[in-house]
Amino acid sequence: MKDELANTLWSYCRMQPLNEYLEEHRPYFTWSEVDDWIAAGHHVGLHTRSHPRCSRLTRSEAEIEVAAPAADLRRRFSLGFLPFIYPFGDRLTRELEQELFEKDVFDCAFGIRGMSSCGVPPTRLERAGAEEMGARWAVYGDLAIRPFVDGIQNRLGQS
């Protein structure tokens, strides 16, 4: 009911239609800006379609929220590697998370419960605290993701 409640609140506040507001204020990248981002050497990750509580998603809802957007991102930007970062750190069930991982929907998944230690499976990575420890995303992201990127590239026969 999140979207329904948000729309009701939006109308109570007498805001302009949401699509007009977002077009005017543009809080997100356009597809062209994402192309520029990637061309500048940055990575792209997935954060779901609408920020749901992932632990509550059914298999079919996970298809809509995670798998379909992941497929779109991979296709649109020719991504060989796609990390998944959970909204609110709220993870899918382990079974569903593992199923999506094995189907190559995403290549690793980050929660927010502290830092991950070496040897953690790629579906169980954590990212909270990285900034406080002095690691910035430009460094942390590369250090955390590089082994997975290398592994994916090796699987695809790239280097």
Q: What is the pLDDT of residues 33-87, one digit of tens each?
A: 999 989 998 888 999 998 899 999 999 999 999 999 999 999 999 999 999 988 8
| Of 148 and 66, the one with more pLDDT | 66
pTM > 0.95: yes or no: no
- The dihedral through the CA atoms of 5, 11, 17, 22 has a sign that is negative
Per-position b or e across 56-68, b if 16+ CB within 10 A of its CB:
ebeeeebeebbbe
Give the whole-angstrom CA distance, residue 46 versus residue 50. Answer: 11
The domain limits of the chain are 43-156
